Amino acid sequence: MADVTFTDSSFDADVLKSDLPVVIDFWAPWCAPCRIVTPIIEDLATDYAGKVKVGKMNVDDNPQTAGNFGVMSIPTILVFKGGKPVKSIVGAQGKESYKRAIDEVLSS
């Protein structure tokens, strides 16, 4: 399971002030591609435990944050480092695409 469920109210503390890079899966329960990505995100949470905070944000329940970061399509995966979005992947991808993005952020 993904480490965290992010919300509009917890976003500042959980993401912007995080000491670790943060991977957020913006999703909705009705989105079929989002359901395909869920097990991949859960695997990434395990693979990067202690190095990256991985979680999900339901865009229906948390429209403010999704809007603030221009999330127009889901699934959208945003990677934050130092409180700023540094990578964005829109649409369902394979695990290697997400790993490559996370590894790039970790090595920068």
Q: Cα(first)–Cα(last) distance of the chain, in Å?
A: 27
Contact 24, 78 (CB under 8 A): yes
Catalytic residue ranges: 31, 34
Report the run of H or E that residue 36 belongs to, with start and end: helix 32-47
Instruction: Of 21, 8, 16, 5, give the one whose Cα is nearest residue 53.
Output: 21
